[in-house]
Chains A and B, each alone.
Chain A
Amino acid sequence: MIHIVTPDNESFYRDEMDQAYRLRHQVFVEELGWTDLAKPDGRETDQFDDEHAVHMLYIEHGQVLGYQRMLPSTRPHLLSEITPELCDGEQPVGPHIWECSRHCVAKGHREKGRFATPIANALLSGIVEWGLPCGISTAIIEIDTFLLLRLVQLHFRMSSLGLPRRMANQDVVAVKATFDWRTLERLREMRGNRRRVLADSVARPALLEAA
């Protein structure tokens, strides 16, 4: 299930957050070779892992197998600070727009079964289940163009923010992906069940209510 970690409940998730930062290091530094992010302690963290970040952890039997981070577009985020060249034109900003970054699934847990990994599906479902009740309808996603088709097929309504650019051996494009209940239905259909992916949080993330 997906657990949402914010400052309100992070004290309950010390170990899982430590695993999440290690997972980020394994995937982005060691596998994808984003050496700029390398850290001597093997935990990838950056300036955006602050009190405004909403961490989404896919946890199975205490193991963090998937991760992504949501940042409000109204504050500094990757597209505004790190990769503005992916946006040809005005940056999308608003309380209903959050950026999804560091989306990853642990090695050995991808591409299971007939469909793209259920963990990636759960993470995307997590964005929609979390977003819809608090009025968030749009995610900024920076994605390899090779995988863009999958988001289109999942009924995210997509609008490219710029042209694909070559970055760290990938062709990356920034998109605004708008979602609604149809997206949620589609994700459930692909997953083969209608269960909620979000776990009941240990502590209710107050930040979401404010958003």
Chain B
Amino acid sequence: MQPRAIRNSLDHTLAFIRDLDRARNLEDVSAQVMRYVTPFGVEHMVASTIPRPQSSRKEQLGHLLLNRWPEEWANRYASRGYLAYDATIRRLISSPEPFRWNELGPLVQDNPNARRVLAEATEFNLKEGFALSLRTLDKQTVLFSAGGRHTEMSSDTQGMLTLVATYAIGRAISLKQENVPDAPIILSAREREALQWAAEGKNDWEIGEVMSISEHGADKHMRSVRAKLGAINRTQAVAEAIRRGLIA
């Protein structure tokens, strides 16, 4: 592309990205991304964190961020455990560089299962496409893959698609976090007491003293509290417990 053409399509891309802020739910984000990618021949796309290899369809659904993947293919993929043989995932985990699906051919030569997954995907119009991976703040890998029967993607287009996918996934993650209701957390009476003292600024030794237990015992309660609240440290545990109304 000529510099002027690049600037124009970049402006178009940036306008698209700004519109992602208006998305109210994951469905809006998927629809917005599809509007962007359809002109390049993309018919299907998916963005997901990586599920365990043996996970059920239900579990795999929980990992989805953006979804315009053929449903029948997704069901077959889950029920036959194709995740374990998916060359796309293997390739993205080994190197973060974006790639075209057709680059996978040589990687699956010696692996009949992996070859079969790629071949069956073409029955669902997943023939040509593009995939990339991103790293989240909590160190998860997000895969993004998009394609169709015939795609037209220059390297510039791939670059723009990388930007759109990144912002769309960022938006999707934040919408998903907003929408998840807090799972109930139950602290034992001792854990709550230890946390209440921690909230008042006492260290493990002091907590042990007031609760008539060892420093080690106080530490054990606090560890368990942190694990239950998903907190990385004491301050975060206290903040989270106050937010949830577990302590005053």
- Which A residues fall within an 8 A CB radius of B? 88-89, 111, 113-116, 144-150, 152-154, 158-160, 162-165, 171, 173, 190, 192-194
In the complex the two chains form, what is the Cα distance from A114 to B237 in whole Å? 14
> Are A190 and B96 in touch, CB under 8 angstroms?
no
Q: Which residue, B17, B98, B160, B232, has most C-beta atoms of chain A within 10 A?
A: B232
> Are A116 and B236 in touch, CB under 8 angstroms?
no
Cβ-closest chain B residue relative to A146? B96
Interface of chain B, main secondary structure: helix
Q: Contacts of A163 on B, CB cut-off 8 Å?
A: 6, 10, 156, 159-160, 163
Excluding A145-B134, A163-B163, 12 further A-B contacts by CB distance (< 8 Å) are: A88-B7, A113-B232, A115-B138, A116-B135, A116-B137, A116-B139, A150-B135, A153-B170, A171-B97, A173-B163, A190-B137, A192-B233
Q: Contacts of B170 on A, CB cut-off 8 Å?
A: 149, 152-153
In the complex the two chains form, what is the Cα distance from A164 to B6 in whole Å? 12
> Are A192 and B162 in touch, CB under 8 angstroms?
no
Q: Contacts of A194 on B, CB cut-off 8 Å?
A: 235
> Are B3 and A192 in touch, CB under 8 angstroms?
no
Is B231 an interface residue when CB atoms closer than 8 A count as contact? yes
Cβ-closest chain A residue relative to B240? A192
* Contact for B137 among A150, A165, A193, CB less than 8 A: A150
| B94-108 contact mask (Cβ, 8 Å, vs A): 1 or 0 | 001110000000000
Q: Contacts of B132 on A, CB cut-off 8 Å?
A: 145
A-B contact pairs, 14 of them (CB 8 A): A89-B10, A113-B232, A116-B135, A116-B137, A116-B138, A146-B135, A148-B166, A150-B135, A153-B136, A153-B137, A153-B173, A160-B17, A165-B159, A171-B159
Is B133 an interface residue when CB atoms closer than 8 A count as contact? yes
Is B14 an interface residue when CB atoms closer than 8 A count as contact? yes
Cβ-closest chain A residue relative to B163? A160
> Are A114 and B235 in touch, CB under 8 angstroms?
no
* Contact for B139 among A88, A115, A144, A193, CB less than 8 A: A115
> Are B10 and A153 in touch, CB under 8 angstroms?
no
> Are B156 and A192 in touch, CB under 8 angstroms?
no
> Are A149 and B166 in touch, CB under 8 angstroms?
yes
Q: Contacts of B231 on A, CB cut-off 8 Å?
A: 192
How close is B159's CB to chain A, nearest CB, in angstroms? Answer: 4
Q: Contacts of A193 on B, CB cut-off 8 Å?
A: 233, 235-236
* Contact for A88 among B10, B97, B169, B174, CB less than 8 A: B10
